Chains A and B, each alone.
Chain A
Amino acid sequence: GAVVSQHPSWVICKSGTSVKIECRSLDFQATTMFWYRQFPKQSLMLMATSNEGSKATYEQGVEKDKFLINHASLTLSTLTVTSAHPEDSSFYICSAKGWDTRDTQYFGPGTRLTVL
């Protein structure tokens, strides 16, 4: 099946620094990638949708200048949390779909971000 990886799996950073999270589709071309955020014991909440080569579409209430998304190739999307603060601490999950995935989204294992 289609495999999506994320790196790093966890990261701890100081308040005010920026953190980049990578999402890769390993065995298919991802025309669309999604970034989700999950708080403890809560739903996954969609943050943004990105199509390869285009600007990301952000959900209402998500600051695009704080959560920078780049989808420069058909196998890689990055999420950069800029000037991170403790309230940005969360579990970030990406998913991807492509021509070969029959409209099914395949999910990465997630990245745990802790901002001190």
Chain B
Amino acid sequence: GNSVTQMEGPVTLSEEAFLTINCTYTATGYPSLFWYVQYPGEGLQLLLKATKADDKGSNKGFEATYRKETTSFHLEKGSVQVSDSAVYFCALTSNFGNEKLTFGTGTRLTIIP
């Protein structure tokens, strides 16, 4: 079956530091890959997505590249801000018209000024 493994948190960084949150997956076929973010007290929001190999998703300064050869979708940001403090979830859906999202465990990120 499908599964997503992401780095365990919590992750604490100083403002303007470089961020990487690792995500690897196991799936049959050609899944679509997602990063969701959950800010304190709010619902999950789609941050970015990629639907095929070598696609790069980007939003709000965050980027992730769909790497089929390494089955990875690592999240990166060059300079984090305090407002980026949140829980980040990596997720996938299969390519068989299946809407089901399979999530990683989430990584809590805290940015200190």
Question: Chain A residues in contact with chain B, CB under 8 A?
Answer: 1, 4, 32, 34, 41-46, 49, 93, 95, 97, 103-110
**CB-defined contacts of A46 to chain B, threshold 8 Å:** 100-102
Question: Chain B residues in contact with chain A, CB under 8 A?
Answer: 4, 36, 41-46, 89, 99-106
Q: List 24 A-B contacts (CB under 8 A).
A: A1-B45, A34-B99, A34-B101, A41-B105, A42-B105, A43-B104, A43-B105, A43-B106, A44-B89, A44-B101, A44-B103, A46-B101, A46-B102, A49-B100, A95-B44, A103-B99, A105-B99, A105-B101, A107-B44, A107-B45, A108-B43, A109-B42, A109-B43, A110-B43
**CB-defined contacts of B44 to chain A, threshold 8 Å:** 44, 93, 95, 107
**CB-defined contacts of A45 to chain B, threshold 8 Å:** 103
A106 near B43 (CB under 8 angstroms)?
A: yes
Cα of A42 to Cα of B106 in the assembled complex, Å: 8
**CB-defined contacts of A109 to chain B, threshold 8 Å:** 41-43
